[in-house]
């Protein structure tokens, strides 16, 4: 999915209707769950130590491929899978 999802910023609308600009950190697919996922963070939300909160959602691309829809992660098994992807990314970063 990384090749398909070239846009590096997305706009998220929170529960109160506020738009937040987010940076796409990583996209990936799961054959097991038959879904695509996106990891993202809200731009400008770093704390004083430079740490950002990472969010994850399932990603459903639009038919024309220009945008799509985010949906919540539905199961503990999906969360476990996503956490393993984040851990793997973290290990890759530390190895560099």
**pLDDT one-digit tens code per residue, 17-35:** 889 999 999 999 999 999 9
Query: Considering the domain boundaries, does residue 1 fall inside one?
Result: no
Tokens read off for 54: 């990472």
The answer to whether the beta carbons of residues 24 and 40 sit under 8 Å apart is: yes
d(CA 46, CA 25): 14
Query: Considering the domain boundaries, does residue 89 fall inside one?
Result: yes
Query: Considering the domain boundaries, does residue 2 fall inside one?
Result: no
Banded pLDDT at 9 (limits 50, 70, 90): confident
Total number of domains constituting the chain: 1
d(CA 71, CA 68): 10
- Where are the extended beta strands (E) located within 1-96? 9-13, 19-30, 35-42, 55-61, 68-71
Query: Considering the domain boundaries, does residue 28 fall inside one?
Result: yes
pLDDT in tens, 33-54: 999 999 999 998 888 888 888 9
Query: Considering the domain boundaries, does residue 3 fall inside one?
Result: no
């Amino acid at each position: 999915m990384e090749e398909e999802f070239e846009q590096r910023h997305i706009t998220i609308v929170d529960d109160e209707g506020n738009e937040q600009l987010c940076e796409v950190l990583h996209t990936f697919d799961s054959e097991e769950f038959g879904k695509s996922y996106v990891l993202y963070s809200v731009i400008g939300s770093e704390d004083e130590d430079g740490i950002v909160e990472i969010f994850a959602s399932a990603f459903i691309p639009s038919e024309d491929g220009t945008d799509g829809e985010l949906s919540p992660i539905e199961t503990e098994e999906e969360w476990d899978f996503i956490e393993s992807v984040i851990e793997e990314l973290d290990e890759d970063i530390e190895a560099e």
